[in-house]
Amino acid sequence: MKILILNGPNLNLLGTREPDKYGIQTLQDIENYIRTIALKENVEVDFYQSNIEGEIVNKIQSAKNNYDGIVMNPAAYTHTSVAIRDAILAVQIPTVEIHLSNIHTREDFRKISLTAPACIGQITGFGANSYKLGLIAIIDFLKK
Ligand code: DQA
Protein backbone atom coordinates (compact mmCIF):
# COMPACT_ATOMS: atom_id res chain seq x y z
CA MET A 1 0.00 0.00 0.00
CA LYS A 2 1.40 3.39 -1.02
CA ILE A 3 0.20 6.67 0.49
CA LEU A 4 0.96 10.24 -0.59
CA ILE A 5 1.12 12.84 2.20
CA LEU A 6 0.41 16.15 0.48
CA ASN A 7 1.12 19.53 2.09
CA GLY A 8 0.05 22.96 0.92
CA PRO A 9 1.39 26.50 1.28
CA ASN A 10 3.38 27.71 4.28
CA LEU A 11 3.57 24.27 5.86
CA ASN A 12 7.30 24.36 5.01
CA LEU A 13 7.47 27.00 7.78
CA LEU A 14 6.04 24.77 10.51
CA GLY A 15 8.05 25.03 13.71
CA THR A 16 8.41 28.80 13.53
CA ARG A 17 5.07 29.73 11.93
CA GLU A 18 2.45 30.80 14.52
CA PRO A 19 3.51 28.02 16.93
CA ASP A 20 0.56 28.78 19.22
CA LYS A 21 -1.72 27.56 16.41
CA TYR A 22 0.40 25.02 14.56
CA GLY A 23 2.82 23.72 17.19
CA ILE A 24 6.61 23.67 17.37
CA GLN A 25 7.25 20.59 15.24
CA THR A 26 8.72 21.17 11.80
CA LEU A 27 7.33 19.42 8.73
CA GLN A 28 10.48 17.27 8.81
CA ASP A 29 9.72 16.30 12.44
CA ILE A 30 6.19 15.32 11.39
CA GLU A 31 7.54 13.36 8.41
CA ASN A 32 9.98 11.45 10.67
CA TYR A 33 7.14 10.63 13.09
CA ILE A 34 4.82 9.49 10.27
CA ARG A 35 7.57 7.33 8.78
CA THR A 36 7.90 5.38 12.04
CA ILE A 37 4.15 4.72 12.01
CA ALA A 38 4.19 3.79 8.31
CA LEU A 39 6.98 1.30 9.01
CA LYS A 40 4.95 -0.34 11.78
CA GLU A 41 1.86 -0.44 9.56
CA ASN A 42 3.91 -1.81 6.68
CA VAL A 43 2.88 0.91 4.24
CA GLU A 44 4.98 3.11 1.98
CA VAL A 45 4.66 6.89 2.34
CA ASP A 46 5.89 9.80 0.24
CA PHE A 47 5.82 13.38 1.47
CA TYR A 48 5.29 16.35 -0.84
CA GLN A 49 4.95 20.07 -0.05
CA SER A 50 4.36 22.99 -2.38
CA ASN A 51 3.41 26.63 -2.02
CA ILE A 52 2.02 26.61 -5.56
CA GLU A 53 -1.55 25.52 -6.31
CA GLY A 54 -0.79 24.24 -9.85
CA GLU A 55 2.07 22.08 -8.56
CA ILE A 56 -0.29 20.46 -6.06
CA VAL A 57 -2.80 19.83 -8.88
CA ASN A 58 0.01 18.28 -10.98
CA LYS A 59 1.06 16.08 -8.07
CA ILE A 60 -2.51 14.83 -7.57
CA GLN A 61 -2.84 14.10 -11.30
CA SER A 62 0.44 12.19 -11.36
CA ALA A 63 -0.63 10.23 -8.25
CA LYS A 64 -3.12 8.29 -10.37
CA ASN A 65 -1.90 4.68 -10.72
CA ASN A 66 1.00 5.45 -8.34
CA TYR A 67 -0.72 5.82 -4.96
CA ASP A 68 -3.56 3.96 -3.26
CA GLY A 69 -4.51 6.86 -1.03
CA ILE A 70 -3.76 10.47 -0.17
CA VAL A 71 -3.57 12.28 3.18
CA MET A 72 -3.76 15.97 2.38
CA ASN A 73 -3.34 19.19 4.32
CA PRO A 74 -4.18 21.74 1.62
CA ALA A 75 -3.50 24.57 4.14
CA ALA A 76 -4.90 27.91 2.90
CA TYR A 77 -5.97 26.32 -0.41
CA THR A 78 -8.55 24.38 1.62
CA HIS A 79 -10.66 27.51 1.65
CA THR A 80 -10.14 28.67 -1.93
CA SER A 81 -9.18 25.90 -4.33
CA VAL A 82 -11.78 24.53 -6.71
CA ALA A 83 -8.80 23.24 -8.74
CA ILE A 84 -7.51 20.96 -5.95
CA ARG A 85 -11.02 19.72 -5.23
CA ASP A 86 -11.55 18.96 -8.94
CA ALA A 87 -8.18 17.18 -9.15
CA ILE A 88 -9.13 14.82 -6.29
CA LEU A 89 -12.49 14.15 -7.93
CA ALA A 90 -10.78 13.56 -11.29
CA VAL A 91 -8.26 10.97 -10.09
CA GLN A 92 -10.72 9.23 -7.73
CA ILE A 93 -7.98 8.38 -5.22
CA PRO A 94 -9.43 8.02 -1.69
CA THR A 95 -8.24 11.10 0.22
CA VAL A 96 -8.39 12.15 3.86
CA GLU A 97 -8.20 15.89 4.57
CA ILE A 98 -6.30 16.89 7.68
CA HIS A 99 -5.56 20.10 9.59
CA LEU A 100 -3.29 20.79 12.55
CA SER A 101 -5.65 23.40 13.99
CA ASN A 102 -9.41 22.98 14.35
CA ILE A 103 -10.58 25.04 11.37
CA HIS A 104 -14.14 25.06 12.73
CA THR A 105 -13.16 27.09 15.80
CA ARG A 106 -11.27 29.77 13.85
CA GLU A 107 -12.18 32.65 11.53
CA ASP A 108 -15.39 32.18 9.52
CA PHE A 109 -13.48 31.92 6.22
CA ARG A 110 -11.55 28.92 7.58
CA LYS A 111 -14.72 27.05 8.54
CA ILE A 112 -15.43 26.44 4.86
CA SER A 113 -13.47 23.72 3.10
CA LEU A 114 -13.88 23.56 -0.68
CA THR A 115 -11.69 20.46 -0.76
CA ALA A 116 -13.30 18.31 1.98
CA PRO A 117 -16.37 17.34 -0.11
CA ALA A 118 -14.01 15.57 -2.53
CA CYS A 119 -12.52 13.57 0.38
CA ILE A 120 -13.73 10.54 2.31
CA GLY A 121 -13.42 12.50 5.55
CA GLN A 122 -11.72 15.28 7.47
CA ILE A 123 -9.57 15.25 10.64
CA THR A 124 -8.99 18.65 12.17
CA GLY A 125 -7.55 20.02 15.38
CA PHE A 126 -5.16 17.37 16.72
CA GLY A 127 -1.88 19.10 15.90
CA ALA A 128 0.78 16.80 14.44
CA ASN A 129 -1.40 13.88 15.53
CA SER A 130 -3.84 14.82 12.74
CA TYR A 131 -1.23 13.38 10.34
CA LYS A 132 -1.08 10.13 12.30
CA LEU A 133 -4.88 9.89 12.56
CA GLY A 134 -5.17 10.68 8.84
CA LEU A 135 -2.71 7.92 7.97
CA ILE A 136 -4.50 5.37 10.17
CA ALA A 137 -7.86 6.43 8.69
CA ILE A 138 -6.73 5.99 5.08
CA ILE A 139 -5.03 2.63 5.81
CA ASP A 140 -8.18 1.40 7.54
CA PHE A 141 -10.38 2.62 4.67
CA LEU A 142 -8.18 0.97 2.04
CA LYS A 143 -8.04 -2.35 3.90
CA LYS A 144 -11.87 -2.58 3.93
C1 DQA B 1 -4.23 24.60 8.29
C2 DQA B 1 -5.42 25.53 8.50
C3 DQA B 1 -5.56 26.53 7.37
O4 DQA B 1 -6.66 27.39 7.59
C5 DQA B 1 -4.31 27.38 7.27
O6 DQA B 1 -4.40 28.24 6.15
C7 DQA B 1 -3.06 26.57 7.22
C8 DQA B 1 -2.95 25.39 8.07
C9 DQA B 1 -3.99 23.66 9.49
O10 DQA B 1 -3.31 22.66 9.30
O11 DQA B 1 -4.46 23.92 10.60
O12 DQA B 1 -2.11 26.92 6.54
O13 DQA B 1 -4.48 23.78 7.15
Q: Which of 103, 114, 115, 133 to mutate to test the pocket of ligand 1 (most atoms within 8 A of CB)?
A: 103
The separation between CA 84 and the C-alpha centre of its own chain, rounded to angstroms, equals 12
| Sequence-ordered list of residues with C-beta below 8 angstroms from that of 13, at least 6 positions apart, any chain | none
Average pLDDT over residues 70-89: 98
Using a 10 angstrom Cβ sphere, with 0-12 exposed, 13-18 middle and 19 or more buried, the burial of residue 52 is exposed
CATH architecture of 2-143: 3-Layer(aba) Sandwich (3.40)
Query: Is any atom of ligand 1 closer than 6 Å to the C-beta of 27?
Result: no
Residue ranges of domains in the chain: 2-143
Please tell me the predicted confidence (pLDDT) of residue 66: 97
The separation between CA 37 and the C-alpha centre of its own chain, rounded to angstroms, equals 16
Nearest CA to ligand 1 atom 8: 75
Query: In angstroms, rounded to a whole number, what is the distance separating the alpha carbons of residues 68 and 29?
Result: 24
Query: In angstroms, rounded to a whole number, what is the distance separating the alpha carbons of residues 6 and 54?
Result: 13
Give tens-digit pLDDT for 8-65. Answer: 999 999 999 999 999 999 999 999 999 999 999 999 999 999 999 999 999 999 999 9
- The answer to whether the CB of 7 falls within 8 A of the CB of 49 is yes
Query: Is any atom of ligand 1 closer than 6 Å to the C-beta of 10?
Result: yes
Beta bridge partners of 123: 98
Cut 0.85: pTM above it:
yes
Percent of the chain at pLDDT exceeding 70? 100
